[in-house]
Amino acid sequence: MKKRTILSFLAFFAFAGGVLVFVTQGKLFRFAKNVNFAAPAFVAQQEVTLARLQSDCSISGTAPGRGCARWAMVNWAWNSEFHPDALFWLEKSCAEGDALSCQRRQRIESMRSHSLSHWEFLNKGIEVGAGEEWPRVSDVASSLSMSEWLDVALQGALKGEDSAADLVCGSSIELPEALVCVSKGNRRLNDALGRVVSYVEHGRKVLSLTEHKQNPLLRFWQGTDLRREDFNQAVEILRRQGSLLPEEQRLWDWLGARTWKYLLTFNCHSVFTGVPSHEFLHGFYFSEPSYRSVVQRTVDEFDKSLVAVISFVEKVFDTSESFILNNEVQASLLQHESMFTDRKSISVREELIRRFRNESGAVDIEKFRQGY
């Protein structure tokens, strides 16, 4: 009898242990995919993809236009350099019936038709001399709509504003509590905000200056979204650590002196309208509790249909916090020019939009999806 009782207890604990592992394994796997481990592999994968696409494409025009157009555009985003073959492949892809390539080509021509002066078309930014300080910020006096912010990114600077500014910043009509900043490029802005973003979104890890400079995601980030409380916490911890870059010190001081609840930044790669759209969707997620609730329920219910989106997010972000997971999933899924075009992702996207419209008809989610 005693032996049977002991065996029963052992069987019960074995069963309970199995259930516990089954329930928590998703969280364990998500923690294991923390960006501190996955980022180098993710960056390497992107570079392999670029190399493969480049080898497949020749100016002879025999390769499929859409694949080569994608290579040219990703190369532009990844290396901040406009490849000379980009317009050729976009025009070919457009002729093959790809509407997105037509739109992108038109946007590039629009950018070329503007006089960007100091905001160079190649998005290499101004080389600031040793005696000059970064950033030089132009404050926009009145609130702009999302479409006007996209125009700022397209044109480089507002008419009548300081076109030599490194950042053009101001408020948004649709997101009045957000500070929106458009930058000339990635490098300096990511140098100034990269450690803050790493702390907030990538496992609360405090990077040393050496680790920061070696962070492969500095080349990947095209925009930033931060809540004020997260920014303040990260800055306080990083300041206590000691060494700061001059651009960190200057931008943190400038941002600390402004009134804002949410910070949204994106660069003037605005031929990718998905970039400002993605950041505005983050701002909407921050500011609208009813939207966060709909996103939470939808992600929980349709997680099996969101495998592609969640897998991508988990490669880049620390998703042990559901707030970050849900925020990145909704922005990646709904953004303009979303990379997730499989049937299941599209179905969840439509369901998410339908649910939010049913619960809150006052806000047009399409405006945030389009970025204008």
DSSP 303-346: GGGGHHHHHHHHHHS-TTSHHHHHHHHHHHHHSTT-S--SHHHH
Nearest to 228 by CA among 257, 198, 254, 263: 263
290 shares a domain with 225? no
Residue 303, pLDDT > 50, answer: yes
280 shares a domain with 259? no
Within 8 A by CB and 6+ apart from 216, the residues are 39, 40, 42, 43
Which of 252, 267, 282 is where one domain is finished?
A: 267
Q: Which domain holds residue 333?
A: 274-370
Residue 339, pLDDT > 90, answer: no
Residue 259: burial class (beta carbons within 10 Å; 0-12, 13-18, 19+): exposed
Summarize the confidence of residues 222-234 as an average pLDDT: 95
229 shares a domain with 214? yes
282 shares a domain with 216? no
Q: Is residue 317 part of a domain?
A: yes
Look-up of token digits 């030089």: 136
282 shares a domain with 263? no
365 shares a domain with 340? yes
Q: What is the Cα–Cα distance from 47 to 82, expressed in whole angstroms?
A: 16
- What tokens does 238 get? 């990083």
Q: What Å distances lie between residue 239 and 198, 209, 231, 234, 341, CA to CA? A: 15, 12, 12, 8, 42
Q: What is the Cα–Cα distance from 257 to 264, expressed in whole angstroms?
A: 16
293 shares a domain with 171? no
Q: Is the pTM value of this prediction over 0.85?
A: no
324 shares a domain with 354? yes
Q: Is residue 23 part of a domain?
A: no
101-157 pLDDT, tens per residue? 888 787 777 666 554 433 443 333 333 333 457 788 888 888 999 988 887 776 664
* Count of structural domains within the chain: 3
Q: Is residue 205 part of a domain?
A: yes
Amino acid (one-letter) located at 1? M
Which of 237, 267, 297 is where one domain is finished?
A: 267
141 shares a domain with 258? yes
Q: Is residue 100 part of a domain?
A: yes
256 shares a domain with 173? yes
150-164 pLDDT, tens per residue? 877 766 644 444 456
Q: Is residue 24 part of a domain?
A: no
Q: Output the pLDDT for position 10.
A: 53
Q: Is residue 207 part of a domain?
A: yes
Which of 213, 245, 267 is where one domain is finished?
A: 267
Cis preceding linkage at 176, omega within 30: no
56-67 pLDDT, tens per residue? 887 777 788 888
Q: What is the largest CA-CA distance in the chain?
A: 91
Q: What is the Cα–Cα distance from 369 to 335, expressed in whole angstroms?
A: 5
Summarize the confidence of residues 337-346 as an average pLDDT: 89
